[in-house]
A and B are shown apart, each in its own frame.
Chain A
Amino acid sequence: MNEARLPEGTAPAPAEGAPRWPLWEVFVRSSRGLSHVHAGSLHAPDASMALRNARDLYTRRNEGVSIWVVPSDAIAASDPDSKGSFFESPQGKDYRHATYYTKSEGVKHL
């Protein structure tokens, strides 16, 4: 089943005969200078109505200054089953962190 690889919030294919509104993922920028952050998902017939629904659903208390909506099925996600191998590369590479270098401890402004 390929639905196993769809991102969070992705519903399975609609039942036959019943027209279902597609699912959208909503990202909200809480204030200028910050990134858009995933807030949740919703159903809407198209992008402009998804934006309006997202405004009503996720920003009733001034939670945002900007909203993105993305069709859920347009998101490609890494496979949780391959978690180990997919993120293997940084393992054992402590030297990529500042904390690896201990000899400079006590030296000011370093």
Chain B
Amino acid sequence: MARNVQPAGQPAPQNAMEALTPEDAAGQENFDRIIAKDSRVEPKDWMPEAYRRSLVRQISQHAHSEIIGMQPEANWITRAPSLKRKSILMAKVQDEAGHGLYLYSAAETLGTTRDEMMDALVAGKARYSSIFNYPTVTWADMGAIGWMVDGAAICNQVPLCRASYGPYGRAMVRVCKEESFHQRQGFEILLELANGTPAQRAMAQDAVNRWYAPSLMMFGPPDDDSPNSKQSMAWNIKRFSNDELRSRFVGMLAEQVKVLGLTLPDDEIRFNEDTKKWEHGPLDWEEFKEVLAGRGPCNAQRLERRRSAHADGAWVREAAAAYAAKQAAKQSSTNAQKAAA
């Protein structure tokens, strides 16, 4: 995607320091001042190519995650246990589509079109959160996803509301407002199951067991293995490191799980009095890398579904364009008649 951002005929970023034009030098100075003041960068400001590229990568991956993220939950819409749960689930999936669109809009302000990003996604060239490549095998997974996956997303996204790039921060404010409903409805599903029959309770516990580690890995690799993090924090895009956010999240889960009366599948969770941080057991980062590389349980299925949804929707896009053209023609002939009369 990066190549779409780099305007033709401009020096590659690694040469940018050598080939700095007076405008670039002034722009860099202004950019540095904005970052130092913890102010916001807006779309038409000069910004370093690497900053632009990094944002396009992060925001488009975020948008793709929202769009792909509709699938694991849409899987249960037709089998929701009640009409109320079905309505809630549909509203949630609709929100995910909305979040994807807010984020594509934010990324578009950086000079990459939504179509280019969509094309990269269906071509399998773009990444999205590894979490959405796990299957949703029981109804309790709707609870675990809301509570843990959306919970982790909120932890990650609240600090992003203050990201140095204005349109990204504003999109995140909107997303965060809507996300808390997602987490609460998930928690409620688990709470009901946990207080239900022994079989329902077992189903809830099983879902928590399966989603725990993948949701912790949503924060990304450990800090010493996360090459982009440092630069992203220097640019005030990220405010806290992956491990810091993960530790906070574990602390929240450890308390909330008591209300559910369930357990987390990790007996190494503890609050370290010395560092004042929550700690957890080891995570399988090899699995994380495998899933990210496209070899997770559902990667192929998710992409195939996205491709077919895009292809199946082609006639709607064509019909809408034809309708708009027809309306415009009708309007201009009415105007012509009025002018003649």
Contact = CB atoms under 8 A, between A and B. Distances in A.
A45 B113 contact: no
B286 interface: no
B108 interface: yes
B98 A60 contact: yes
A77 B113 contact: no
A4 B321 contact: no
A57 B101 contact: yes
Interface string B302-329: 0000000000000001001101110110
Contact of A5 (B44, B91, B171): B44
Contacts of A6: 44
B81 interface: no
A49 B128 CA distance: 29
Contacts of A43: 114
Contacts of A20: 113, 115
A77 to B, nearest CB: 7
A1 interface: yes
A80 B45 contact: yes
A62 interface: no
Interface string A1-33: 101111111111011001111010000000000
Nearest to A79: B44
Interface in B263-308: none
Contacts of A23: 108
Given A40-B102, A57-B101, A46 B328 contact: yes
Q: What is the interface of chain A mostly: helix, strand, loop, or mixed?
A: loop
A51 interface: no
A48 interface: yes
Interface in A34-54: 40-46, 48-49
A3 B108 CA distance: 13
B111 interface: yes
A14 B113 contact: yes
Contact of A60 (B7, B95, B108, B170): B95
B183 interface: no
A18 B114 CA distance: 12
B327 A46 contact: yes
A61 B102 CA distance: 15
A40 to B, nearest CB: 5
B105 interface: yes
A18 B91 CA distance: 32
Q: Which 7 A-B pairs have the closest CB atoms?
A: A45-B324, A46-B324, A8-B43, A80-B44, A11-B108, A41-B105, A45-B321
21 contacts: A3-B111, A8-B167, A9-B43, A11-B114, A12-B111, A15-B115, A15-B116, A21-B321, A23-B108, A40-B174, A44-B320, A45-B321, A45-B323, A45-B325, A48-B327, A56-B98, A60-B94, A60-B95, A60-B178, A61-B178, A80-B45
